């Protein structure tokens, strides 16, 4: 019997984002690094953002962010979803129009523990560029 590859995500309480108890997802595709993502930010307006993982090292610092297709069985049926995750302090976002360095103090940046998306963020972004 083949061994299933799983990804485990747990984010401790931190200044970047809220706590996320441990979640384990079966992986169904290849993990890719992720650098930009269309997300809703202040005012609930969708816009292209830089994304990085955020780690507890040095009191909060960038690390790689990844996207991987996973099975999500959180509802009554299993569906294909796209998990976006980063470091032990989650993910950090800033608008692509913002030229400042990554900083936990910036009011223009925000954090999330992780994201579970219904569509592939890379395909979604490319589709928006062609429209």
Q: What pLDDT digit, counting tens, does each position of 65-92 carry? A: 999 999 987 666 678 999 999 999 999 9
The pLDDT score that the predictor gives to residue 43 is 73
Specify the range with the lowest mean pLDDT, choosing from 44-48, 80-84, 113-117.
Answer: 44-48
Contact between 8 and 19 (Cβ < 8 Å)? no
The pLDDT score that the predictor gives to residue 7 is 95
Residue 1 lies in a domain: no
Is residue 128 pLDDT above 90, yes or no?
A: no
Half-sphere exposure of 52 (CA within 13 A, CB side): 16
DSSP state of 44: G
Q: How many domains does the chain fold into? A: 1
Contact between 79 and 34 (Cβ < 8 Å)? no
The pLDDT score that the predictor gives to residue 32 is 94
The residue segments making up the domain with residue 64 are: 6-130
Residue 19 lies in a domain: yes
Contact between 75 and 59 (Cβ < 8 Å)? no
The pLDDT score that the predictor gives to residue 40 is 85
- pTM value is 0.88
């Amino acid at each position: 019997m083949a061994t299933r590859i799983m990804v485990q995500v747990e984010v401790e309480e931190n200044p970047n984002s809220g706590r996320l108890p441990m979640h384990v997802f079966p992986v169904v595709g290849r993990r890719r690094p992720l650098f930009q993502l269309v997300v809703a930010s202040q005012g609930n307006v969708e816009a292209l953002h830089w994304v990085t993982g955020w780690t507890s090292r040095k009191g909060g610092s960038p690390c790689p962010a990844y996207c991987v297709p996973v099975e999500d069985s959180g509802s009554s049926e299993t569906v294909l979803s796209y998990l976006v995750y980063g470091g032990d302090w989650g993910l950090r976002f800033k608008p692509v129009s913002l030229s400042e360095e990554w900083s936990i103090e910036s009011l223009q940046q925000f954090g999330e523990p992780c994201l579970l998306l219904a569509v592939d963020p890379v395909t979604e972004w490319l589709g928006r560029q062609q429209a």
